[in-house]
A and B are shown apart, each in its own frame.
Chain A
Amino acid sequence: MSTTNPYLPIRAEILEVRQETQSDTQDVKTYKLKLDEPFDYRPGQFVEFSVAGIGESTFGFASSPLIRDAMEFTIKRAGYVTENIHMLSAGATVWIRGPFGNCFPLGDLEGNDLFYVAGGLGLAPLRPMIDYVFDPAYRGKYGKINMFMAARTPGDFIFAYDFEKWSKMPDTTFYRTIDGKVDSWTEDDKNFVGFPHTLIEKIPFDLEKTIAVLCGPPMMIKALSSSFVALGMSPERIYTTLEMRMTCGVGKCGKCNIGHKYVCIDGPVFNMAELGEMPNEY
């Protein structure tokens, strides 16, 4: 139960803006923020991020909670608020309230292998968990890791600057795919062409020991989850994080519910067994 006012935002300064996508639209940037009053959060949670006078939007954390002095959000230019955020540069003031929502059940997942599949911007809400698990203090608690990154074109990968570091992590295999062939892309046993749900069967993993963690466009999540289930994985072992239009973040405003579950307080992280019991309205 929150005892403070959940609507009152905390002031934050933009420390750094990074251009993520290198394709024509250049429409994804990462904002590194320093909050006046920092707070703790867990991988999978989200905030309401605002520009005073413009309004709020909902974004998942895109950096590890173990980084104490700053937090990052990766934002695609898609509407009124995000267009205005994209005009801001280092030094500008923004406002943050949160953290909201549940989180990836990292404690329960200990001892398992992990298979991350991220499509496009869907990698952003997985990055806090990825970096948390890779932290030397926690890496030993989890088994083998498969990372499978999908993007429309080679220029559409976000966090491409992390890929080399991630691929060299112990007991980790790193795969990538793009939607269609281009000259600059060389296919091999770790770099594919095609949609991830048609490719996961080419990646070796232990069906009994693996937890799949998926994030991407709704179509991709639905197709991927079906592919994992078809390979024999139980729906309880497939996790995803949902995105919905939201106002309040605290279960009141009435926008993000799927049946009686609210993505803002019961989610955004669900496993496929939970989603299977909810109406198909996401």
Chain B
Amino acid sequence: MSAYKLDLTGLRANVTALLEKYTLIAPARIDGKLDYLEITDAEQIVLTNELPYKSPKDVVLPRVERLIRFADGTAAEAQEIKPILLLGVKPCDAQALRVLDEVFAGDRGRFKDNFYINRRTALTIIGAGCTEAKPGCFCFARGIDKAFSSECDGFLHFDEDGFVFEPLSDKGAGLFFGTETAAPMRTQKPEENLALHCGEDEVFSVMPWDIYAEGCIGCGTCTYICPTCHCFVLRDAEDKGSVDRTRVWDSCMYPNFTLHAGGHNPRAQKKDRYRQRVLHKYLYIPENYGMVSCTGCGRCIRSCPGGINIMNTVYDIKERLEDSRK
């Protein structure tokens, strides 16, 4: 496919046209912070090297979403979907959506999640790269190219005069117009060196999880801010004679998450919960879905009040594994 060169004015004109057709979500400032926000004016969009402080996962898994409505003795699907254009998604976050696709809609999962698929089908993703890593970023160690992701419907490359839009799917074709040009050369993907290749028995009861988890205060921020964390709970709420069953984000960092009604808790201590978070990303999802569920975005590192650093944890595990195999 051809690519299209456009400057900032051209980009904004395109965005204004797209606002007619889509709910548009893009990096924008709120109280000085950059976040993926719903845009009503093309001038709000900020496409720079800066990473939005929260992930865009709520476009496919809203924090609170009505799934089922019970009324008059029936239960019916009650999801409300509108077509969303997610613009300026960073390569780490685009990779995270790929992981969620695999878990909720992929062929390796034994059930498909209709509600996720409905949202995902109505979503178009346009990526935009980073020019350099920020403190806390470790996408390079995860083998993710900071400048480009093919997990998008189209990509906005930075160019000396502005941008080059490269369509990557039928969904992405025709979204941005400009002067026709050649698609930019692909940059070399960094080599993935932060992954675990071991059995569960080599790490589960062996690694010093209590030391890794020492700083954890159980606030769950890491899971809420993470682009791939997707644990949830279903909650019922009654309103004027009908009942809504909603899906709400949950967190494996909370003690109640696994607490049985009878009082038994398989993950009773914080080391058990931190171990679950790390191994879910680095061993269990790789085993079940063939990909690591951490994209190196560094948000959990930047936002942890206890100073926990998942990159350091996994590097330490790798080092201990290597030592034990000598």
Contacts and interface: CB of A to CB of B under 8 A. Distances in A.
Interface stretch (A62-70, A204-212, A244-252): A244-252
Contacts of A8: 68, 75-77
Given A82-B261, A218-B264, A281-B272, A95 B231 contact: no
Contacts of A258: 266
- Provide the main secondary structure of the chain A interface: loop
Nearest to B256: A245
Size class of the contact patch on chain A:
35 or more
A280 interface: yes
Nearest to A254: B231
Nearest to A100: B111
Nearest to B288: A260
Contacts of A250: 110-111, 113
Contacts, number: 130
Given A245-B258, A279-B200, A252 B111 contact: yes
B110 A252 contact: no
Contacts of B318: none
B76 to A, nearest CB: 8
Interface string A27-63: 0000000000000000000000010111111000000
B119 interface: no
Contact of B250 (A82, A243, A247, A259): A247
B232 interface: yes
Contacts of B314: none
A82 B262 CA distance: 11
A125 to B, nearest CB: 14
B233 interface: yes
A93 B110 CA distance: 30
Interface of A: 1-2, 5-11, 50, 52-57, 76, 78-79, 82, 93, 95, 217-218, 243-245, 247-248, 250-260, 265, 277-282
25 contacts: A2-B110, A6-B114, A7-B245, A8-B68, A9-B68, A11-B75, A50-B236, A55-B236, A93-B73, A95-B70, A217-B262, A245-B261, A247-B232, A248-B232, A250-B113, A253-B250, A254-B252, A254-B280, A255-B257, A255-B258, A256-B258, A258-B266, A260-B283, A260-B284, A265-B111
